Amino acid sequence: MPLGADMASSAEHIPENPESDSGDSTEGVVRRGRVRWRRAAVMAVPATAIAAGLAILTAEGALGVQFAISGMPFTVTATELNGTGFEQFGNLDNMAEGSPNAGDTGGQVLVVTSAIKNATLTKLCQSVDLGGTNLLITAGSGADKVQASDLTTDSTELTGDAAFNNIEIGNDASTLTKAGVKGPIGVFSQQADTVHIGNLRQTNYATTAGVFKLPGLKLRFSDSGC
């Protein structure tokens, strides 16, 4: 789910539940087999209400925004991801004021934040379309896999073949415990002891990790992305 040098997230490790009056629900679709989460399915309430509530949380510091996102999406793929301590909930990322990438979004992107306490990824690829060329990063193609701890990714799309162990669906995001990350109160979420995703593909706007090891790292420009 990660990755690369171009990453950020608005989730934070916080010891207590953030206080907010935001009340949202979502249509989480999780099953053994094919999975897909899209921005429109993050929460089953009008997007304007979501944005308003999460914007208030951001202003109050409840989401712990670490930096403004560039607003340029990047693609991440891996042949396999395995993780322990998995959480997922709806969130909102913000661009720098006056960003040329804001378009008609108001500088905000509705995302699904996925948090994994410890993760390994095989044959990781990340690409950013720079307009005419792609910045391409690959790692973990040999015997050593990519390793990450306290990993979070903010995505608008995720696909793959997934399996979860001891999954809980419908938690309040402020009560999550599996990955040490807490979302805003009143927001739909899910968590599991373990997660496995084969043929992972994500469209991300931000990623963070406490530790990120990239064996066999190669960064280059390419005519094609991941």
Per-residue confidence at 67, pLDDT binned at 50, 70, 90?
A: confident
The pLDDT of residue 84 is: 98
Question: Is the Cβ–Cβ distance between 133 and 225 less than 8 Å?
Answer: no
d(CA 105, CA 103): 6
CA 131, 157, 22, 48 torsion-angle sign: positive
* pLDDT tens sequence across 110-144: 999 999 999 999 999 999 999 989 999 999 999 99
Domain boundaries, the chain: 33-222
Task: Report how far apart, in Å, the C-alpha atoms of 104 and of each of 26, 63, 99 are.
Answer: 24, 23, 11
b/e map of 110-146 (b: 16 or more CB within 10 Å)? bbbbbbbbbbbbbbbbbbbeeeeebbbbbbbbeeebb
Q: Is the pLDDT of residue 219 over 80?
A: yes
Structure tokens at 200: 């992972």
Structure tokens at 179: 């990955």
34-38, 61-65, 101-105, 130-134: lowest mean pLDDT where?
61-65
Beta strands 146-165; 188-208: pairing state: antiparallel
Looking at the DSSP bridge assignments, the partners of residue 189 are: 89, 171
Can you tell me the mean pLDDT for 52-68? 46
Instruction: Give the ranges where 32-126 is alpha helix by DSSP (H).
Output: 47-59
Strands (E), the chain: 33-38, 74-94, 108-122, 124-129, 134-139, 146-165, 168-172, 188-208, 211-213, 218-222
* pLDDT tens sequence across 75-93: 999 999 999 999 999 999 9
Phi-psi domain of 107 (left: phi exceeds 0; alpha: psi -120 through 50; beta: other):
left
Q: How much is the pTM?
A: 0.73
Report the percentage of the chain scoring pLDDT > 70.
71
The pLDDT of residue 138 is: 97
**Residue corresponding to tokens 């406490």:** 210
* pLDDT tens sequence across 139-166: 999 999 999 999 999 999 999 999 999 9
Looking at the DSSP bridge assignments, the partners of residue 159 are: 36, 201
Question: Is the Cβ–Cβ distance between 8 and 206 less than 8 Å?
Answer: yes
